[in-house]
Amino acid sequence: MLEAGIKGQKEIIVTQEKTAKSMCSGALDVFATPCMIALMENTAFESVAAELDEGCGTVGTKVNVSHVAATPVGMKVTCETELVEVNGRALKFVVKAYDECGLIGEGEHERFIIFDEKFQAKANGKLAEK
């Protein structure tokens, strides 16, 4: 059973592929906001995955973060997440990202526990509707 307090941590190095210029989210060679958000989601996802029942997963439902400092190519970024609220199948995380000089992003991220096969089947069902 999931309980508040579960923490996650993940580190990456900023590469050219993770820049705003490469991600089409800006014109500079700095860590892209979409990549920071993906790192936050992935860290939260992985932090609780082992605690879920077999056949269950989580999907992101909300992201509310601020990207407060730029990070150049070659620098390490560390993401930390903490599960702060469990409300049925709804999960709320506090997320933070740091580079080697300090805080670069912070906020909240929400995920929802789903039954993998049922969720995928429902999503695939949209193909028959179009």
Q: Which residues are catalytic?
A: 33, 41, 67
Cα dist from 87 to 35, 68, 93, 116, whole Å: 28, 29, 12, 19
Specify which residues 66 forms β-bridges with.
Answer: 106
Question: Does the CA dihedral 123-58-66-75 come out positive or negative?
Answer: negative
How far apart are alpha carbons 43 and 37 in whole angstroms?
10
Q: Give the tokens for residue 79.
A: 């993401």
| 99-128: b (≥16 Cβ within 10 Å) or e | beeeebbbbebbbebbeeeeeeeeeeeeee
